[in-house]
Amino acid sequence: LTLAGERPVLANETVIVQSYKCQVLSSLLDEAESRSKGKVREIAFPVSEAAAQLAKLRAQEKKLLEVDGTEVSDSQVAELSAKLRNLEKTRKELLVQGISPPVRFFMETVLDGGLTHAVVAELGQCLASWRKPRLQPLIR
């Protein structure tokens, strides 16, 4: 775009276009972030977070069982067993609770229009744009 054949006219700011779905998801994630004290995943996706923690503890358990030559203390085994039992109990409680608003939104979106490539791409792009400003300080 030029003005009377002169130099191009450039916009001062980049225009960001978001769909209604993206706006809703962003607001739900912002709300979860404000309540999470830095642990959004625990608030927005509690069952996934518990599963990740369980996988880490299982890996620790496997390492303890595979140790050759060095003795594993009873206290290490007892501590790990207590963590596993506590996490399993917590995970079962999480499964009984209602789902978080971001997960509910995703499920409703998929149930309304089906899980199409367009929906996945749109929500993926929205999530990426929501995460970008939060990741920038970590990349620098």
Task: Note the pLDDT tens digit of each residue in 63-108.
Answer: 887 776 566 777 888 888 888 888 888 888 887 888 889 989 988 9
Comparing CA positions, the residue from 43, 22, 39, 36 lying closest to residue 106 is 22
pLDDT at 4 exceeding the cut of 70: no
Count CA atoms closer than 13 A to 26's CA, side-chain side: 17
What's the confidence (pLDDT) of residue 14? Answer: 58
pLDDT at 10 exceeding the cut of 70: no
